[in-house]
Amino acid sequence: MHQGAKQLIIQTSSLIAGFMVWVLISSLMPFIKEDIQLTSTEIAWVTAVPVILGSLLRVPIGFWANRYGARILFTISFIILLIPIAVISYAQSISMLILGGFLLGIGGAVFSIGVTSLPKYYPKEKHGFINGIYGAGNIGTAITSFSAPVLANVFGWRTAVLIFLIIVLIFAILNFVFGDRKEDKVSNSFSVGFKQVYRNPKLWFLSLCYFITFGSFVAFTIYLPSFLVNHFELSKVDAGLRTAGFIALATIFRPVGGWLGDKINPFLILMGVFFSLTFAGFLLSFTPSLPIYSFGCLLVAFFAGIGNGAVFKLVPLYFSKQAGIVNGIVAAMGGLGGFFPPIILTILFNWTGHYAIGFMSLSEFSLATLVLVVWLYYLDKLEVSSKIVDHAAEGIVLTDANGIIQKVNPAFTKITGYPPEEVLGKTPSILQSGEHGNDFYERMWDSLLNEGFWEGEIWNKRKSNDIYKEWLTITAIKDETGATKHYVGMFKEENVKSDKIEKS
């Protein structure tokens, strides 16, 4: 089997196991609160606490995955996870639940390992789909949401927790034995790598997108079991089954989002995602009946899953050399996005008696992000256009309507010898060779003013005073009213076979 396919199977399976453990407390909370007396606010904190370490630890784990490889990181993580599972199974108070839940966050932090490791085995055009398949390891939360309540009904919640010790131990052994010992490793300094990326606005834009898409996934995952039982009075198993359905839908569409990101512009995908999340949050804010509420949740699951896949198509696209650190930061922000909503929803419910403001905040944040996505989409297109200009073989000069030079490209400098700082703010007359009379330039301007276009041969002068022949095309750029805003000149030097200059 190809090493990449082998590691994809092992690491995706490991992520499933990690996420199964990560949501252990929230999945069993309807049972735990019957044994340990907890207020609604305490329940919100206990279920949200695993997200803290599961988010913050993603940054160093992403970096370590580059340095030490996925095999070592997964093995150590699963060994450490044995501790919080044992603590939770014997918990008698909220403090023990919080301690165990905090360490349980390692199960969510392992996400950064695969998104850093797996792209090493595949070409760039497949990164979106591969990371999408790996991200489908989110299904682990659905498995626990469904199975944990069933196990708790049969054996009791403490025994159900202990069963997960076996799962974690198995995956620690699997990774140690079958993990890739020869994985390519990068030994960059963390501080150096962080300094290279933290000022890049694309990093924080991707973090915001993932904060909302993955954050909404995590928030609904840990909040739905208790919410469905308390608000709609569903049975614990029914609530677990519905939560599992939410998770399964989001998980299935994560690789779809990555695959779409490989095929079309990921910004277009994110526009659809945040428009739909805006509508879903608006719908949920009215606390509708169970069928309508279920529809709103399914919308969140569908588009959050697609958004999660699309975001991790953009990460290796923009940060191929710092993928470990960037994956960690973006993943951490996604996890933190799932920490705050359950607490905020509970506090707002205690104040107002309903959840409208909390769900409306999802709508408003999504709307604001939609605006940013649209803006960056067009900014990205401008950057592409700018790169085309900078790499063009022809010299290009942009002036305003008065002929004042605003921009030149590297080919302009190569041909004329003038660096940008020496021509910006001046007119193209700086290049005049003296080989053409006033009537030549008058005809040129007459054509530009009346037809918006001129092209022909012209003799110009370099900075070194050498005279050369070029083919020049000038085009007037007009606004929607027909007024000229800019002139763009494109020229290329023509070979002159004779030293004699033939005047126009």
Mean of the per-residue pLDDT values for the chain? 87
| Band of residue 499 on the pLDDT scale cut at 50, 70, 90 | very low
Contact between 140 and 17 under an 8 Å Cβ cutoff? The reply is yes
Q: Is residue 503 part of a domain?
A: no
Residue 501's pLDDT is what?
43
Whether 364 and 434 share a structural domain: no
Q: What is the pLDDT of residues 335-377, one digit of tens each?
A: 788 777 767 777 777 787 777 777 888 888 899 999 999 998 8
Q: Is residue 169 part of a domain?
A: yes
Question: What average pLDDT score do residues 316-332 get?
Answer: 77
Whether 116 and 213 share a structural domain: yes
Is the pLDDT at 309 greater than 60? The verdict is: yes
Residue 1's pLDDT is what?
61
Q: Is residue 502 part of a domain?
A: no
Q: What is the pLDDT of residues 103-157, one digit of tens each?
A: 999 998 998 899 889 988 988 788 888 988 998 888 888 899 889 989 999 999 9
Q: Is residue 410 part of a domain?
A: yes
Domain that holds residue 327: 3-389
Extended strands (E) in 121-275? none
Count CA atoms within 13 Å of residue 190 on its CB side: 10
Q: What is the pLDDT of residues 462-487, one digit of tens each?
A: 999 999 999 999 999 987 778 888 99
Is the pLDDT at 13 greater than 70? The verdict is: yes
Whether 320 and 230 share a structural domain: yes
The string of DSSP codes covering 166-191 is: HHHHHHHHHHHHHS-TT-------HH
Residues of the chain above pLDDT 90, percent: 42
Burial classification of residue 30, based on how many CB atoms lie within 10 Å of its CB (0-12 exposed, 13-18 middle, 19 or more buried) = buried
Q: Is residue 498 part of a domain?
A: no
Say what the pTM is: 0.66
Is the pLDDT at 18 greater than 80? The verdict is: yes
Whether 103 and 140 share a structural domain: yes
Out of 40-44, 169-173, 336-340, 398-402, the most confident range is 169-173
Task: Indicate the angle between helix axes 94-104 and 24-35, nearest 10 degrees.
Answer: 170
Question: What average pLDDT score do residues 149-176 get?
Answer: 94
Whether 340 and 470 share a structural domain: no
Q: Is residue 501 part of a domain?
A: no
Chosen domain end from 361, 389, 417: 389
Whether 383 and 429 share a structural domain: no
> Of the ranges 8-22, 39-53, 243-257, which one carries the lowest mean pLDDT score?
39-53
Chosen domain end from 326, 359, 389: 389
Task: Find the CATH number of the domain harbouring 423.
Answer: 3.30.450.20
Whether 151 and 274 share a structural domain: yes
Task: Find the CATH number of the domain harbouring 240.
Answer: 1.20.1250.20
Is the pLDDT at 36 greater than 60? The verdict is: yes
Cα–Cα distance for residue pair 347/503, rounded to 1 Å? 83
Chosen domain end from 389, 407, 426: 389
Whether 378 and 253 share a structural domain: yes
Quote the tokens at residue 22.
Answer: 């990560």
Whether 234 and 162 share a structural domain: yes
Q: Domain tally for the chain? A: 2
Whether 61 and 105 share a structural domain: yes
Burial classification of residue 286, based on how many CB atoms lie within 10 Å of its CB (0-12 exposed, 13-18 middle, 19 or more buried) = middle
Q: What long-range pairs does 469-475 form, CB within 8 A, spacing at least 24?
A: 469/493, 469/494, 469/496, 470/395, 470/415, 470/494, 474/444, 474/448
Q: Is residue 504 part of a domain?
A: no
Cα–Cα distance for residue pair 401/278, rounded to 1 Å? 42
Q: What is the pLDDT of residues 196-252, one digit of tens each?
A: 788 888 889 999 998 999 888 877 877 787 778 877 888 888 887 888 888 889 888
Whether 86 and 170 share a structural domain: yes
Question: What average pLDDT score do residues 452-457 get?
Answer: 93
Whether 382 and 468 share a structural domain: no
Q: Is residue 17 part of a domain?
A: yes
